[in-house]
Amino acid sequence: MMSRQAFLCSLGSLYLSLLFVFLLMDVYARPANNSALKEKPADSKDENEILPPDHLNGVKMEMDGHLNKEFHQEVFLGKDMEEFEEDSEPRKNRKKLMVIFSKVDINNDKKIGAKEMQRWIMEKTDEHFQEAVEENKMHFRAVDPDGDGHVSWDEYKIKFLASKGFNEKEIAEKIRNNEELKIDEETQEVLDNLKDRWYQADNPPPDLLLNEEEFLSFLHPEHSRGMLKFMVKEIIRDLDQDGDKKLTLSEFISLPVGTVENQQAQDIDDDWVKDRRKEFEEVIDANHDGIVTMEELEEYMDPMNEYNALNEAKQMIAVADENQNHHLELEEILKYSEYFTGSKLMDYARNVHEEF
C-alpha cells in the first residue's frame, strides 16, 4: 500500500495551487481541499490546541467533505478506540470486544439488534461531544491570556501565529499598533478561512469576542446547528462544480485530473469512489432523486440525528450478519473485528468459547 509520504509527494505539484495545505491523512483519504488546514509541525505543541481539527470524531463526513474512514470504529468503540490501536494482543482485544458486546446487548439475549446498536451509537456520539466540551475548556484557557472569559480575534490570531513559529511578542505589538504583518500567502489563506469560521461562531449580537460556548462551536462545528450549516455551505462550495448549490453524484465522487499515477493508487481510488457512491446513493440522497441539497447534507452531517444512527446501525449489522437474521452474534463481531475495531483477531472461532 502506498505510504502517506509518497502519496503526498505525487500530488504536490498539482495541488499547491488549489489547496491551502495538507493535514494528516490515511492511504484511503482523498487530497484535502481548500477547507483543510496545514499539517502540524512535529515540534509544535500548542497548534493542535487552537486549530479546529480537520478530523471530526463521531461524524461521518469531515469538514473538507471527505468521508471519515474511522467512523464505524469511533461510534462502536468510543474511548476504547485508542486501546485497540495501542494493544495488538489478540487475546486481550477479544476480551475487550466481548465486554463491549455485553454492554450493547442490553436485553442479554446474546445478540445485538438495530435498536440496541442505535442506542449504543448515540451514546458513543454523546461521549465524543462530552470529550470535546472538556477539551475545549483547556483550549479556551490557553487562548484567553487575560482570563476575562472572552477571546478576541486578535488574541486568537496572536496565539495561532505563535504556534506557526512567529514571535508572539512581536506579533502582538504589531497588531496593537496596526502595523502590517509579514505573513506568507499560505498562512494568510488559513487565517482568512479561520476568520470566516470565527464570524460564524460569533452568536448575535456579533462582537468578534467568543465566549467558551462560542469557542466550542469554532473548534467543533459538528456540535453547533449554526456551525453545521456553515460547514455544509463550505462542503457544497468546495464540491459544487456548476454553482447550483447542490451536489450530483458525479460532483460528489469526481477525481481531480492527474491524481492516479500507478495501479496501486488506482485501486485505492476505486475503493474510494465505491465508498463515496454508496454513501451518496443509499444514505445522503434521502429522496433518491440523484441530487443532494444543503438540507439533505445537513441532516446527514448532524451527529445526533437518530434516524441516521438507526440507518448506520443497520448498515453495521449488515456487514457482519452472516446468518442473515438481522442481528449480530458475538462470533460474527469477532470474525469481522477489523471492521468494528480496526484490529484483526486471529483464531476467533477456536478461542471464543474459552473466554466464556
Q: What are phi and psi of 297, to 5 degrees?
A: -65, -35
pLDDT at 37 over 50: no
53: left (phi over 0), alpha (psi -120 to 50) or beta: beta
Secondary structure of residue 292 in the 3-state scheme: strand
Residue 167 is assigned to a structural domain of this protein: no
* pLDDT at residue 79 in the model: 84
SS3 204: coil
Q: Cα(232)–Cα(19) distance, rounded to whole angstroms?
A: 18
4 in any annotated domain: no
* Domain extent at residue 239: 70-150+211-258+266-354
Which pLDDT score is estimated for 170? 94
Pairing of strands 291-292, 247-248: antiparallel
Candidate from 53-62, 72-81, 187-196 with smallest mean pLDDT: 53-62
Q: What is the per-residue pLDDT for 28?
A: 34
Q: Is residue 225 part of a domain?
A: yes
* Pure H helices in the chain: 4-15, 47-50, 71-77, 81-86, 90-104, 114-143, 153-163, 168-176, 185-201, 212-219, 225-239, 249-253, 263-279, 294-301, 306-320, 330-335, 337-341, 348-355
Cα separation, 110 vs 98, in Å, equals: 11
What is the pLDDT averaged over residues 199-203? 89
For residue 164, is it within any domain?
A: no
pLDDT at position 86 is 58
Average pLDDT on 153-165 reads 90
The pLDDT tens digits for 315-339 are 999 999 999 999 999 999 999 998 9
Asked whether residue 191 is assigned to any structural domain, the reply reads no
pLDDT of residue 246: 95
| Mean pLDDT, rounded, of the chain | 79
User: Is 146 among the domain residues?
Assistant: yes
**53: in domain:** no
* Residue 305, in any domain of the structure: yes
- Give this prediction's pTM: 0.70
Cell of 5: 509520504
Span of 49-58, 145-154, 322-331 with lowest mean pLDDT: 49-58
User: Cα dist. 139→52, 75, 149, 213, 242 in Å?
Assistant: 11, 24, 12, 12, 39
Amino acid at 213: E
Domains contained in the chain, number: 1
Q: What is the mean pLDDT of residues 10-28?
A: 35
pLDDT in tens, 230-271: 889 988 988 999 999 999 999 998 754 344 445 454 555 678
